[in-house]
Amino acid sequence: MQASLGGVLKGQCHYAAAKAGVMALTRCAAMEAADAGVRVNAVAPSFASHPFLEKVSDPLLLEELEAQEPFGRGAQPWEIANIIVFLASDLSSYMTGNA
């Protein structure tokens, strides 16, 4: 599952509600699937940089989004992919219901 809930912004109630729903579903699904040995986790990057996003977005908006990030930039696609690889591996065998 994928979800993000970095900051709550004016005019984004629909976004916040949808992402919070994914996070709640992750926790509930994890509890229901645990007996079968199935792990359920969500990946929740708050902002991810991507060449397509840079082409279609206002540069000032991108700067504002990056400034809100803890590291001052959006996550790179490969960084998010590494999290997914970790969650799919045995290294996260005792991890479920997290976002």
Catalytic residue (choose from 15, 61, 73, 84): 15
Give pLDDT tens digits along the chain (99 positions): 544 545 556 777 988 898 899 999 999 999 999 999 999 999 988 888 888 887 878 889 888 888 888 899 989 999 999 999 999 999 999 999 998
Say whether 15 is catalytic: yes
Measured distance CA(46)–CA(44) in Å, rounded:
6
- Stated pTM of the model: 0.77
